[in-house]
Structure 1
Amino acid sequence: MFVVVGEALVDLVGQRGGRTWVAHPGGSPANVALGLARLGNPVTLVTRLGRDAFGDMVRAHLAGSGVRIDPEPDGAVPTSLAIATLAAGVASYDFRIEWDLGALAPLPVETRCLHTGSLATALAPGRAHVVDLLERERERGRATISYDPNVRPALLGEPGSARPEIERLVALSDVVKVSDEDLRWLYPGRRDEEVARAWLSSGPAVVVITRGGAGVYAVTRFVEVRRPAIPIDLVDTVGAGDSFSSGLLDGLRRADLLGGPRREALAQIDHATLLSIVDAAAMVAAITCSRPGADPPTRAEVDAALEARQG
């Protein structure tokens, strides 16, 4: 089972300068949970939702694909919003969010992977409880820990003040996915491959960098993979990185590389397996980019697209 911890919210998506906005269920961790469920994985999302119209929309969207939500929506809090402004299909964000889950219980014993990131690991007071959970689960050693910083500069202040906490979470993780855009903000002037290797030396088994139109770079202690982007008819990039994360974790699960007892096997993943997993994750993201909003594909859609590309 996967457990994802983090925000679920509504994306209000519109064109820059426009007057029409469309509401889509979103939130980076929620999108990852949705993607995992559509790929056929049992997944629980630990999040904060209001018992309001937006919360009802998000809950129905997630539950309709099989995501279990914990705890139940709370009538005393509003559902959070992200305002996504599109320019040439690329989204920039403004947030209206409150994040406080309180103390988090240990993961169920059947959990093989814990994923988190984005606002859940950046916003007080909730981030302290998320970090505490990661530290406890790392010490228990039962689950693979996955982390995507998904940097939101408007909420983080200066890169120099954000880096230490992000690096702390990288060191607690087994799998780290990050975008080249995030790395340019965090480490201006440094090559992303250099940063990936520095992060790798701090603890993770695998670091993966998504580069938009320039493809994907993945590295472990023993192998590295560079892959070009998959050509698509771009609609928008909302949820693209989250879809990649869900595809990446699904691929690692299918390769039997998740769970504490598989930590060393994950660190020693071979080139062919990593290549196959990265390509499938890229296809998940590509399909998402070909339609509006964070609408990740099903297992059948991904398998059909991979078969068509190979054929």
Structure 2
Amino acid sequence: MIVSCGEALIDFMPIEHEGAPAYRPFPGGSPFNVAIGLGRLGAPTGFLSRISTDFFGDLLLRTLHENGVDTRYVKRAADPSMLAFVSHRPEGEPQYAFFANGAADRCITEHDLPATLGDDVACLHLGLGAISTLAEPAASTFETLLKRESKRRVLALDPNVRPNLIKDRDAARARLESWVSLCDIVKVSCADFDWLYPDRSFEDSAVAWRNLGPKLVVMTLGADGAMALLDGAKVAVPGRKIGVVDTVGAGDSFHSALLAGLSERGLLTLDGMNKLDVGVLKILLDQAVAAAAITCSRAGANPPTKRELEDSL
């Protein structure tokens, strides 16, 4: 099982209603989206977080169950759900306004973590996003989990940097690098690298992160596809031409498809990662790009099913 850890929130997406601007709520949050994406692709998946008992939290939990996500590692709490309002720009990444102070997932502590994880948990995925690298107590809680589980099972990380939530770039960068050193798979966008390391190319940044210890570093390049570093090899695949509705959740769908593909081939174990080769990686990257493209073609973080992905290839 692949257990995704981190935030579960409500994305309010802009729509037009009766000729006036309005917002429609969608369940979301980067790690939540990854868990949903894995479930739709038929991969055994679970979610680890703290979810509110308010009606937004009920919607989040119901969505997990409807998509086949195991919730044994979810704690319910009276704290409110995190809310995020999304604003689309004519070009570039969407902008977010987060309302997160005192939110259930942001207030997760070590006491909320399971004492042990089941033997069926092959991989832990940690998505940051709105909790950011400096939002406490969540950041320290998940750092404890990473340190505890490192070398026990495959660890996957998606920084999903939100610059408007980070006040100290140097501190965030240092903390992220310490987390990267604990992980086996890191998926990062070129936009993340551009903000973290504005004075060097994203390829140089990827090499630097690969040298920290991960077996695999994967970069999403938007319309240009994706690139990955595996041992000493570089693998690249092109993007897909589509009609873009919005890009919310595209990176999460990409990561879901990548992890699901590794799992399906029996490679999502510490030993299995050593057997991953360039040929298989290229196939998996192409599938991940296709999954992201499908998500971009419709509103909200709405990842594809396994059938939809297979039909697109």
**Which whole-Å CA distance do the structure 1 matches of 2:277 and 2:273 have between them?**
14
Identity %: 40
- Give the partner amino acid of 1:63: H
Residue among 68, 90, 95 paired with 1:92: 95
Residue among 178, 192, 197 paired with 1:187: 197
The alignment's TM-score, normalised by the length of structure 2, stands at: 0.91
- 1:299 and 2:306 matched: yes
5+ residue gaps, structure 2: none
CA distances 1:40-89 after superposition (whole Å, capped 9, x unpaired): 01211111221222112222222111112232432x21111111111237
Residue 117 of structure 1 deviates from its aligned partner by 2.2
| Number of aligned residue pairs | 299
Residue 261 of structure 1 deviates from its aligned partner by 3.0
**Which whole-Å CA distance do the structure 2 matches of 1:218 and 1:255 have between them?**
18
Residue 228 of structure 1 deviates from its aligned partner by 1.5
**Which whole-Å CA distance do the structure 1 matches of 2:141 and 2:300 have between them?**
29
Question: Whose strand fraction is larger, Structure 1's or Structure 2's?
Answer: 2
**Which whole-Å CA distance do the structure 2 matches of 1:264 and 1:189 have between them?**
33
The 3 A distance-change label for structure 1 pair 272 and 261 is closer
**Which whole-Å CA distance do the structure 1 matches of 2:252 and 2:157 have between them?**
11
Whether the aligned pair in 1 keeps the contact of 2:124 and 2:154 (CA below 8 Å) is yes
5+ residue gaps, structure 1: 307-311
Whether the aligned pair in 2 keeps the contact of 1:15 and 1:85 (CA below 8 Å) is no
SS where residue 199 of structure 2 aligns? Answer: coil
The alignment's TM-score, normalised by the length of structure 1, stands at: 0.92
- 1:14 and 2:4 matched: no
**Which whole-Å CA distance do the structure 2 matches of 1:164 and 1:171 have between them?**
11
Cross-structure match for 1:309: none
Cross-structure match for 1:135: 147
**Which whole-Å CA distance do the structure 1 matches of 2:152 and 2:21 have between them?**
49
**Which whole-Å CA distance do the structure 2 matches of 1:62 and 1:254 have between them?**
21
Question: Whose helix fraction is larger, Structure 1's or Structure 2's?
Answer: 1
- 1:73 and 2:76 matched: yes
Residue 127 of structure 1 deviates from its aligned partner by 1.2
SS where residue 253 of structure 2 aligns? Answer: helix
Deviates more, 1:160-169 or 1:88-97: 88-97
Cross-structure match for 2:175: 165
- Give the alignment of 1:118-133 within 5 angstroms: 118=128, 119-120=130-131, 122=133, 123-133=135-145
